[in-house]
Structure formats: C-alpha cells, structure tokens
Chain A
Amino acid sequence: MKKQIVALMLSVVMVGSFAGCGNNQSVVGGESEEPSSAASASETEKTESGKTEISLLVDVSRDVVGESGYGTGFYTALDDWQKAHPDVEINIEEMDQTSYQTKITALGSSDDMPDLFMLKGSWTKNFVDNGWVQDITEDLDADTQWRDAYIEGAFEYATQDGKIYGVPRESLSTGLIFYNADMWSEIGYDEFPTTWDELLDAVQKFNEKGITAFVMGNKPNWPAESCWLSTLGDRFTGPDWTSSILKGDGAKFTDDTFVAALTAFKELADAGAFNADINSIDDQEQQSVYFNKKAAAVANGTWFIPTVDTTAPEDVKNATKLAVLPSVTGGSENQNTVSGGCVWFTSISNKVQDVAKRELCIDLLKAVTGKQVGDITASYGGVTPWANPEYDTTKVPELYNEYLKLMETTVNVPVYDACMDSGVIETMNQGLQSLLIGEKTPEALAEEIQLEQDQVVME
C-alpha cells in the first residue's frame, strides 16, 4: 500500500478536475514525481543472471565528467570498481539536484530507497528518524585509515546522536565573492571592499555607471540564503547563535542580531546592489550575466571555480578574483568567515541488510569516497574533504590556489541549508525573495521563520 501513497497524494491534487463533469483534463505534472523503475532493483537481491544488483541514485550527472572535479572522480571510481567486480550489476540513475531532492523523498516514503544514495546534511535527522539510512559508524571504526583521512569536522552534519550515517563527498564554501578586479578598479577599488560602508559606496558608484554590482539568480530561491545570508548572518550573530538554533536551546530568529543581518541584506538590495530580475533568473543564468560583464561580481560557491576556468571568456577569467563578504560594525568577533563545510554525503540505505550485499555496498562506498576521488576532485580545482589530496598543483585553475590561500586565514561557518530543518529553510528562502524586493520587512520575515522553527522544536 505504501508504494502508492505518493501517487495517491498527487492524484488528490488533481481531483478537482473530476468534481464537475468527470472530465480529466490533466495538467498537473504529477506523473513525473512517482517512484519508478530504479526502485524495484533493491527488492531483488540477485538478477536473473545470478549477479548481485546494487542500485544507486545520484544527483551528479555523467555529463560533467571532465568538467567537475567530483563528478569526474566519482564516475572514474565507480567504473573502476565495476571492472573489479564483474559479478555485480550496478544500476545507477542520475538526475539534477532539484529533481533528486523530490525523488529521494518519494522513494523513501514508498519504502523503495536505492542501496546507495546522496544525503544532504539537513536531511540527516528526518532520514534517520524514518529509518531510511544506515548507521555506518562501525564500518568507519573498523577502517580507521578511511575514517581519519578526512578533514576535521567532515562528518558533522551526517552525525546524529554520535552515530555516523554518511561519508562526505565534497567540502565547499558557499559564500565566496567572485569579482571582476578590472571592473572594481575602474571605480577606484583595487581590492574588494573590506567594510560594509565601502561596499555600499562601491554599489553606488556602479549604479552611476549603469552596471549591476552583484548578479543573483535567486529563482530557485536558495542562492540568497546559501551564498549570502549564511555568511552575512554569521557576521552579526556569530557561530554560537547558529549552534544554539540547531540545538534548540534559546537562540531565536527574532533575536536582534539575526534581524540586523536581514536588515543589512535588505539595505544592500535597496541600495540597488542586485539585478532587477533577481527572482526570475536562476543560478545558471546568473553566470552568463557575470561572464558578459553586465555585473561586476557574483556570490557563489566553490563549485563555480572550475566553471570560471572552463567557460568564462579569457579576460573575465583572468580578472576574476576571490574575496569574502566585508566586515560589519557591531557584529560578531570573527569577521573573517565564509559559510561552508561538508554538505553532501554518500550513504547506504537501511534496507541493505543481507550480509554479503552489505559488504559489497560498503566496499563500493569506500571506493566512491576514497583517495582516488579526492585526488581527481582536487586536480580539477574542486574542494575535497580528503585531507591530503595528491595532485599536480601547477595544473589546477589559478582560482583554486587562490581559494586555498584565502582559506588559510578564513574560518568556515555553517551553511544554513546544510544543517537547519528543511521547512525552516524553505520559509527563509521564500521570505528572502520578498525581502530583497522590499515586499517584506526584516522583522516580519524573522517572525515567520521563527514560527516555522517553533513547530520543529515542538516535534
């Protein structure tokens, strides 16, 4: 029965059409969300040919091989493992991240989890509570070489009550400023502004020249929060506030410090720092605006480093430099921070209980999170949680080396959408869209988010 539940719910949405006349003119895109073929794989332990079957669902497309460091590493490791295990049939399904998010939840609720899948830090609690993901603490403890090869704190968001549920795949910074140094020096800034006032001044100067200071493609609604607010919030609240929110012991979104962060963000938008179509273009389209020099800077994550290297026009590529958001007055102690950390993990489904199959899955998990992947990721300029990757430092994108240098002095602070409840995040993300176009006050938004947070704490 459970299998149908998702289909049922979507059908109910469609049911309006049956009300008057029994004519089903279906326009709801429900069909595509239903659990499909990949799911059935996990039910049969052996295929007809006697091979063990392992199903994978990933949000990384094979198309990115040769472009993205992690993608290349993952598929290289997967293919190598497949060659070494001809008796195993790997059944992999790839999709983009937004669809992945829907699909994995649908599969979970219909009890059809794939054997190996990608876990986002903010899902850990829900997935663990629902018994969708397997505790792998013992396996990690049994192979300390594997466990200890990652940077400090890499497992944090995949840990629940001291148990580990996933192996980190990438380490990221989400709130980096990529700026076109040529354009900034034209308005008199040889370096990226280091104080908030300077930043507002620069925005004004860009406006006078008719150039957008920062382009943001916030239609998918996570960039404003992930690439801006996670860092900007910390400028005002400090990391203690965030951890208190996560523990649910006192801190509130209505606290003055968080409201101050929202206010600063709104003021920046009011000053005309962003593009007019901020909420109707997406994070892909924002790239082309920056590459066409219609905008002087863009806040983006480390995943953008290889993109700049491979797709930006030569002059933009050479002029692009990295910075973190400027410091604010009256904020928290450490102003040299950027949101980041290990956000995505590779996990094993709780349904994998067959001893032999489980062993294979753990072995595959080791392969796709191991040294090989770390090395390849780094060689493309991707940031890996593998502590000491070996790669040719002269061949990586220049920006990557600049990033590593930047991170020598910069501290990672939590990315909101990697650790907070997904309901809270959705409310925050939607609200930020309104905040940035002046439709909502910081105070009202703070209250809305807190209301959602109260429900989380209640549960």
Chain B
Amino acid sequence: MKKSKKQYAMKSDIKWGIIICLLPALLIYTYVVVVPIFKAFYLSLYNWSGGAKMSFVGLKNYSILLKDTAFWDSFANNIWITILCVIGQIGIAFIFSALLSARFMKLKSIHRVVAYFPSTISAVVVGFVWMFIFNYDYGLINSLLRAVGLDKLASAWLDNPATIILIVSIPLIWQYIGYYMVIIMAAMTSIDTSIYEVAEIDGASGIQRALKITLPLIKSSLLVATMLCIAGNMKIFDHIYVMTNGGPGTSSMVMALDVYKTTFIKNRFGYASAMSIAILILSLLLVGGVRLLVMRPWKKEEN
C-alpha cells in the first residue's frame, strides 16, 4: 500500500514534468498555428480590404469560393504536382536508397551528401537556378540541344501551358529527393540483415529483394513520407512564384500563390482568408483520405 502510493506520487511528478516541458512548445504552437486558423476563419466571414472598414458577409465568401473556377483550377494544379512529386520524389528516393544500401556501392557517404544537398538550398534559389536552366535563349537545356544540332527540340519550356505543370515539378522533385532518401534509408537500415541473407541463400535477385522484402517492411515510413509529400505540396509557393509567377496565364497557378495574389494584389483579405481555410480543409481531407486508403482499417478488422 505504502509502496504503491509512492509509485503513484512519482508517476504524477513525471506527468507534471512532462506537462511543464511541453508547455512552452504547446503555447508557441497554439499562438502561431491554432490562433491564426481561428482568426483566419473569423476574417473569412468579412468583406475586408485590409483597413479599418470591415463588413460582415457571413458565409458569402465561401459560396463565391465554391463557384470560383480559378481557385479550383489551382487546386487541380496542386493535385497534379502532388501526384508527380509523390511518384518522382519518393519513387526516385526509394531507388537511390536501395542502390545506396547495396553492398557493391562505393563512396556511399559522398553519394548521400550530394543527394541531400539540394534540400538545404533555399527554394527561391532553386527556382532561379532552374529558371535559367529552362531559359529559351541561353538556358542550359536549349544550349545543349542546339550544341548537338537538335535545334527543333529547343523550346520555350516555361511558356507552354500544356506541359508547364510537369516542367515546374522537375525542380521540386530534384530538390526533395534527398530529404525522402534520408527517411527511407533510415527505415531500410532498421531491417534485420539476416532476412536478406536468407533470401539471398534462397536465390532471390536484388530486385526481388527490394520489392518483396524491403518495400513491405518500410511501408510505414513510406506512408510518413507520402503524408509529408502531400502536405508539402499543398503549400508550394516559392518555386512557382519565382519561375513562372503562376503563368502563362494561370496555367501554373497553385493555391498558395492564388491566396497571396488575392491578398496583396487584389487586396481582398477576407476572401483570401476563406481560401486559406479551404486549403486547410482540402489538405486535411486529402491527407486523411490517403491515410485511410493505405492503412485500410476495415481490412484489419477482418483479420
């Protein structure tokens, strides 16, 4: 009896310790994330151009938003970019990780550093660099094409609305491969090597080992990477702002850029707040939806 009381007291001490340690982080998080969300929702109910004059319009901003084709087009662009990035970033990162954990690979740490390097650069710098690479007159790609006599293939890469989404996704994919590689490699190293040894003895080829052993065993890490990738791509802004500014026309417009323009160029702060809330809801739905699809909780019940 005495002992358990002591234990209980100790537990409660630890509990308080944890709460006190978490409190600063929690307070900051509330201040910079939770409060702004509520504030944005509050603002989204107003017609407001940034100054003293605010008029309450209820949910009118949202009803306009539902019919705002420009916003939904940019949402569609976000989705396309997300799909391309999930395939490109995580797919390539998986291949790289598999190669880097292979035994025949030399100079592993250099490869790792080089692959991770782009993730450390500012997105604006990446945007500028790729803007020069894609440039029509003196860009790297066109210069190379012209040098080998393929003048006909040289084109104004950032000017074709049909392919612009693919083009602007390339720098995004390039930049973040290293980031996902780190996550996937960490997961891979946690796999017991004896499993591979057994598989090797059984005669499984490298590709078979990657697909049938590695992939299922790092599924949860891949899921985390996918979530990060979706969440990250719902808020892309800088690359596109620098490279195309949403153009030509609105063909590479994404939601965050649309919000920025609505706020600071069109001066419609209230409506832009409604758009921000919509982005939040859409992102949550998307992340939740994908989680549900991958986890398949209904399937587990059957088991």
Contacts and interface: CB of A to CB of B under 8 A. Distances in A.
B236 A9 contact: no
B241 interface: yes
Main secondary structure of the interface of A (DSSP, over half): helix
Given A20-B228, A21-B228, A439-B251, A13 B267 contact: no
Nearest to A20: B227
Contact of B232 (A12, A27, A29, A33): A27
A311 to B, nearest CB: 18
A28 B268 CA distance: 20
Contacts of A431: 249
A6 B268 CA distance: 12
A15 to B, nearest CB: 5
B161 interface: yes
Nearest to A104: B264
A82 interface: no
B1 interface: no
B250 to A, nearest CB: 5
Given A422-B265, A423-B267, A434 B40 contact: no
Interface stretch (B48-56, B92-100, B102-110, B204-212): B48-56
B156 interface: yes
B159 A437 contact: yes
B259 interface: yes
Interface string B25-51: 000000011011101100100010111
A276 interface: yes
A48 B272 CA distance: 40
Contact of B159 (A11, A127, A129, A279): A279
Nearest to A432: B249
Contacts, number: 203
Interface in B226-269: 227-228, 230-232, 234-239, 241, 244-251, 256, 259-261, 263-269
A15 B273 CA distance: 13
Interface stretch (A105-113, A148-156, A239-247): A105-113
Interface of A: 1, 4-9, 11-21, 23, 25, 27-30, 33, 101-102, 105-106, 108-109, 126-127, 129-132, 219-221, 275-281, 289, 294, 422-423, 426, 430-431, 433-434, 437, 439-440, 459
Interface of B: 32-33, 35-37, 39-40, 43, 47, 49-53, 123-124, 131, 134-137, 155-159, 161, 179, 224, 227-228, 230-232, 234-239, 241, 244-251, 256, 259-261, 263-269, 272-273, 276-277, 279-280, 283-284, 287, 291
20 contacts: A6-B263, A11-B32, A15-B235, A16-B279, A16-B283, A19-B227, A19-B287, A20-B231, A28-B235, A29-B238, A29-B241, A130-B53, A279-B244, A279-B247, A280-B247, A433-B247, A433-B249, A437-B159, A437-B249, A440-B249
**Across chains A and B, which 7 residue pairs bring their CB atoms closest together, nearest first?**
A130-B51, A434-B249, A20-B227, A8-B36, A109-B50, A277-B136, A280-B158
